[in-house]
Chains A and B, each alone.
Chain A
């Protein structure tokens, strides 16, 4: 017990890897054993996180539960973990969604052992980003998460899909999941290049990769570097950081990998992609960009707000224009994450003011909320896809009498995604709008167009799937759809409960976020 007490964060971080290694020794025919081991062991980090939550002191400044081990002393990097209110809420989201995603994956039949192991590796990769207090460790985990996701999309993605690759040189058709996984990988790697260079520069310059030390020294740094003014170097480094994170969020116009990757990924992969991986980018903004580059962020806040507004508006439009259910949901992520960036842009503009704090509260809460509702939506798309083997909205319609329980759950989750007051999405969107309006009134006003169209695409989804005259094709015979089963309800139940609780009483989470934002940015 003592060991866990003093090594709580590293236990949370590495338990999934440990479980994956255990699974490695299981015979691959023992599918049930592998599934249950994966699921149960993913509950351990979750349980520990809840325990961590109860012991966490939101009032205390700085990081808590810190652990530090020598790692790569030659370049002054150490294995430094720690947690504050911001990372804690993200860790909670990750450890909560992973077991649900694993439970959702029980229907995966192909190469179960490899699948479950990759998933557990993925969890460690994501958690590492949130827990790292050392810039190099941060980068390492940032990259590690890519690999399992690449293979999850590439190997377990929708097998049949085809994608037209259009360019002025001509177009050709290729396998959609290969295309999507490659696009996801190459795109993120391209962003990481600049980040790696900027990280190296900081490390070489200050002889440390420790986050807290770097923030203090870097903001005080002036003089010349590479024969340039410090301010110029900072602007370049700011963009190196920003682009890496913007690709991940993703910010318009770097978003086109998202609909491809989300649509082709296996159900649980989409849940984690939308639920957690997108948050890595936004987390990068909050953890690194704003503290490291407050001046530059303020200088370019208008541009960030512009891109956020474009994401909100065109994300909603593009979502409305879909005929593929999963792609519709995928584009909704562009729309929703736009609000996160809008809040961050507003905060960047006037860091430390009450308006900025409200905007940041909204942005972080929106990250959490979107994690819940997007994971739920992707899962629900998966449920129907597994049964019908199509996601084409034009083939559905009139399913409500056939699958009534599913219908009710879909409407509930859709409403959370729509931002209906009383459910979680509203609270965060309201806070973002409230925080951004006095700082960026025009962008906030324009983004309302996106909010309006959020309604349009959500209702389109419901109408095209559930409503309309009874669909005879899916009602009888070999195509008869079965209603959502108990396992699937168990995946949705925690999400729905949290969606409702956070909508009615968001205080328990928002209080932690609020204090973290005050400590970080004022």
Chain B
């Protein structure tokens, strides 16, 4: 099959799976998950074929050396808006990690939703399964995990999610990218609110949809602007076209002194702020934990948030259109600031979280900040590299945390104490012995996140960002990101220590249990990438290792741009910083938390003082928005727009007009018709002078004799006949 055809087909299997499950197979759990996983597998195979064919093309990415195909989609006057698919080096590497992570998440979901387990005793659609009571051969009653009541639906939604992401990755233009982008927005809404009967999940779903939509409407404006300025939305025609870029950089937008390129890039970037949960639109991502854990992995690694960063990498030529390689442009500074601030801001919050998934959620926000910051300072390759490695290790960490929670739920069902929160890390401890596969893979993921030197992928990509900041002299960014990296290593080790090391702090943790193979196999596969993927991007002049392996990632992905980016010169200083923050943070985390006992407060609580609740409450951003945005908006909607403006002002005017008309009408009736016409003319004058005498005169004709009536009738008849004869004939 032609590669282009395969590319077109990539989103189709999961999309069809969605429709098949929803329309036909939703009653059968086995059939539904087979269709779901099968579809993910098909797309995966297709993606791998495309990826490896791309590797075998020489000068892939340059000029016409890409896979591309398009069709006319919207007629716009005399021309058409064409949409199509395109695989260039950037989309190839993104496709690679997307296909792997999605497949793993599908497989993992089978185990996570307890396929093969009995139906729950009191399970309802809309709530997580509560467990089922079974009687074993000896007549003992056990409570075991029960299967998810909406199992089929989950795979349907996941399929649609995957279809959205594949659409986004294979797009050759920003419009279909936006289509995939929004479909994922819907899926995140559906899946975060999967357990819709929980008010917290329901609210989180709406929060996710609405917060990202704030970004999306700006992005839509950016699309409209870009489209009207260039007449196209195709990547190749805009981002790979010096003339168009130059023109956009030279045109003024008349807003804040930005060039058209700068303003468009920023409008599109606001979309990313929403989608990739950057400050100040980060608030939805931690709440997205309300969804089932595979969804978290999907959102945090494989799809949503990666899509946001991917888009900024895509529009990089636009963002840097008026940049000459030295001082950052206004647009770039904004991007760099948002990214850098988000990186440190989210890291501080992660330090004080107790929920195992919340820590990871804030770490995602922080790591995305690293990527955005890298893009803001022009480090194209570093950002793309960190995007890929992060997707692997973050998917691993989320699936790992899901495995931990699953193991803990096992313990909760065993003891029957439902007050124990299976997600609170303070209830865990010592799980390394109970769940060895989960432990080792989680450790790998955690070390990759912390940037543990040499062996983990996260080290190489994060180091590259710091090296870039150093090489171009962005000191503020370098210091902030290094601090964030230190905090990252610290809270990661805090998490690992609290969860897996030491002794179990609760009975439930003692009875935790390793999860089935459908869950541990994906962990193992992702762990391989969390370690190995870094080796494809080792800088050439790295002491010892440099040059042993070619810096494949740099050369391959660099070809996406018109001018291939240069690798930064090697310097031992950023490397030293990298090593110091990673190892220092990990050691510190271990030292502080290694001896924590059950019931003991967080050792950080005392030294941090009032800062601790401030961090734990996420800098009070939720409260801020509730008071300054949601409350006024609700008031404007309910009170101002509807009750006051429509019902009182506009309708009041209408009713006044109507009542005035009514008043005039009834006045005419009461003061003219009735007294003058009826009474004066009719009753008084008329009655007295006209009708009454006439009536009296006529009443004389009422003789009561039939003969005289007959004479009258004949006379009238003759008169009428004469009249007719005279006037008509």
Using CB atoms and an 8 Å cutoff, list the residues of chain A in contact with chain B. Answer: 165-169, 183, 186, 253, 255-256, 259, 314, 317-322, 354-355, 357-358, 361, 398, 400-401, 404, 408, 411, 415, 420-422, 426-427, 430-431, 433-434, 437-438, 444-445, 448-449, 451-453, 455-456, 459, 463, 466-470, 506-507, 510-511, 514-515, 517-518
Instruction: Choose from A183, A255, A321, A357 the contact partner of B76 (Cβ within 8 Å).
Output: A357
Let me know if B704 is at the binding interface, CB within 8 A.
no
Residues from chain A with a CB closer than 8 A to the CB of B641 are 314, 317-318, 321
CA distance A435 to B559 in the complex (A): 35
Q: How far is the CB of B687 from chain A (nearest CB, A)?
A: 37
Chain B residues positioned under 8 Å from A518 (CB to CB): 77-78
Q: CA of A496 to CA of B640 in the docked complex: distance in angstroms?
A: 35
A167-B659, A358-B76, A445-B221 are known contacts. Are A318 and B126 too (CB-CB below 8 A)? no
Contact at A466–B196, with CB atoms within 8 Å?
A: yes
Contact B637 A318 (CB under 8 A): yes
Contacts of B659 in A (CB 8 A): 167, 169
Cβ-defined contact, A438 with B642, below 8 A? no
- Choose among A253, A320, A355, A514 the residue that contacts B637 (Cβ–Cβ < 8 A): A320
CB neighbors of A among B184-208 (8 A):
186, 189-190, 193, 196-199, 202, 205-206
Q: Is B652 touching A167 in the complex (CB atoms < 8 A)?
A: yes
Chain B residue nearest to A183 (CB atoms) is: B654
Q: In the complex, A168 Cα to B181 Cα: how many Å?
A: 50
Judged by a CB distance under 8 angstroms, whether B214 is at the interface is yes
Can you list 16 A-B pairs with a CB-CB distance of less than 8 A?
A: A166-B651, A314-B641, A318-B646, A320-B633, A320-B634, A321-B638, A321-B643, A354-B77, A354-B79, A400-B196, A421-B183, A455-B213, A467-B205, A468-B197, A469-B198, A517-B77
Q: In which size bucket is the chain B interface?
A: 35 or more
CB of A437 within 8 A of CB of B225, answer: yes
In the complex, the answer to whether B76 meets A318 with C-beta atoms within 8 Å is no
Within the complex, what minimum Cβ distance (angstroms) separates A160 from chain B? Answer: 20
User: With A415-B186, A468-B199 in contact, do A421 and B178 touch (Cβ < 8 Å)?
Assistant: yes
Q: Interface majority SS on B: helix, strand, loop or mixed?
A: helix
B67-75, B549-557, B713-721: which lies at the interface: B67-75
Asked whether B74 lies within 8 Å of A506 as measured between CB atoms, the reply is yes
Is B65 in contact with chain A by the CB < 8 A criterion?
no
Contact between B650 and A256, CB atoms less than 8 A apart: yes
Does B228 interact with chain A (Cβ within 8 Å)? yes
Specify which chain B residues have a CB less than 8 angstroms from the CB of A420 in the assembled complex.
182-183, 186
Q: Are B652 and A166 in contact (CB under 8 A)?
A: yes
- With both beta carbons as reference points, the residue of chain A lying nearest to B156 in the complex is identified as A408
A181 CB, nearest partner CB in chain B, Å = 14
Interface presence of B22 (CB below 8 A): yes
Residue B209 is within 8 A (CB to CB) of chain A in the complex = yes
Please state if B196 and A408 are interface contacts (CB–CB under 8 Å): no
Which residue of chain A is the closest to B26 with respect to CB atoms?
A404
Chain A contact residues: helix, strand, loop or mixed: helix
Q: Which 7 A-B pairs have the closest CB atoms?
A: A321-B637, A167-B655, A321-B638, A421-B179, A317-B641, A357-B77, A437-B224
Residue numbers in A under 8 Å from B647 (CB-CB): 166
Interchain CA distance A421-B216 in the complex, whole Å: 12
Given contacts A169-B659, A408-B22, A467-B197, is CB(A322)–CB(B126) below 8 Å?
no
Determine the distance from Cα of A358 to Cα of B642 in the docked complex, in whole angstroms.
Answer: 33
Assess the A437–B656 pair: CB atoms within 8 A: no
A455 vs B220: C-alpha distance when bound (angstroms)? 14
A445 to chain B, nearest CB (A): 6
Could you say which residues of chain B place their CB within 8 Å of the CB of A506?
73-74
Please report the C-alpha to C-alpha distance between residue A517 and residue B78 in the assembled complex, in whole angstroms: 11
CA distance A317 to B632 in the complex (A): 11
> Which residues of chain B (461-480) have a CB below 8 Å from chain A?
none
User: Please, which residue of chain A has its CB at the minimum distance from the CB of B199?
Assistant: A468
CB–CB B224/A434 < 8 A: yes
Residues of A within 8 A of B74 (CB): 361, 427, 431, 506-507, 510
Asked if A318 and B196 sit within 8 Å, CB to CB, the answer is no
Q: List, in ascending order, chain B residues with CB within 8 A of A169's CB.
A: 656, 659
Complex Cα–Cα for A467 and B221 (A): 32
A449: chain B residues at CB < 8 Å are 217
Question: Are A451 and B217 within 8 A (Cβ)?
Answer: yes
User: Please, how many angstroms separate the alpha-carbon atoms of A323 and B353 in the complex?
Assistant: 37
B251 CB within 8 Å of chain A: no
CB <8 Å contact, A467 and B202: yes
Pairwise interchain contact B225-A514, C-beta atoms closer than 8 A: no
Given contacts A427-B74, A437-B228, A448-B217, contact A321 B186 (CB under 8 A): no
Closest to B19 in A: A500
Docked CA distance A169–B77 (Å): 54
B228 pairs with A422, CB closer than 8 A: no
Task: Return chain A residues, CB-CB under 8 Å to B183.
Answer: 420-422
Q: Chain B contacts of A427 at CB under 8 A?
A: 74
- The answer, yes or no, to whether B30 is at the interface (CB within 8 Å) is no
B55 at the interface (CB under 8 A from A): no
Q: Check: B636 CB closer than 8 A to any chain A CB.
A: yes
Report yes or no: A166 in contact with B655, Cβ–Cβ below 8 A.
Answer: yes
B124 at the interface (CB under 8 A from A): yes
Give A454's nearest chain B residue, CB to CB: B213
Q: How far is the CB of B362 from chain A (nearest CB, A)?
A: 25
Given known pairs A401-B124, A467-B197, the reply for A430 and B214 (CB within 8 Å) is: no
State A467–B125 Cα separation when bound (angstroms). Answer: 11
A256 touches B651 (CB 8 A): yes
Given pairs A318-B642, A321-B634, 14 additional interface contacts (CB within 8 A): A167-B656, A167-B658, A317-B640, A320-B637, A361-B77, A411-B190, A415-B186, A420-B186, A421-B179, A433-B220, A448-B220, A459-B206, A459-B210, A467-B193
Say whether A400 contacts B224, CB under 8 Å: no
| Whole-angstrom distance between the Cβ of B554 and the nearest chain A Cβ | 34
What distance in Å separates the Cβ of A518 from its nearest Cβ neighbour in chain B? 6
Partner of B75, one of A183, A466, A510: A510
Determine the distance from Cα of A421 to Cα of B171 in the docked complex, in whole angstroms. Answer: 14
The interface residues of chain A lying within 8 Å CB-to-CB of B655 are 165-167
Q: Say yes or no: A421 contacts B75, CB within 8 Å.
A: no
In the complex, which residues of chain A have a beta carbon less than 8 angstroms from the beta carbon of B96?
none
B570 within 8 A of A: no
Contact flag A470-B77 (CB < 8 Å), given A256-B650, A434-B228: no
Taken residue by residue from 219 to 233, chain B's Cβ proximity to chain A (1 for < 8 Å, 0 otherwise) reads as: 011011101100000
Question: Would you list which residues of chain B between 362 and 414 have a CB under 8 Å from chain A?
Answer: none
Q: Within the assembled complex, what's the spacing in Å between the Cα atoms of A489 and B181?
A: 30
Q: Which residues of A contact B633 (CB under 8 A)?
A: 317, 320, 453, 456
A355 to B228, CA, bound (A): 8
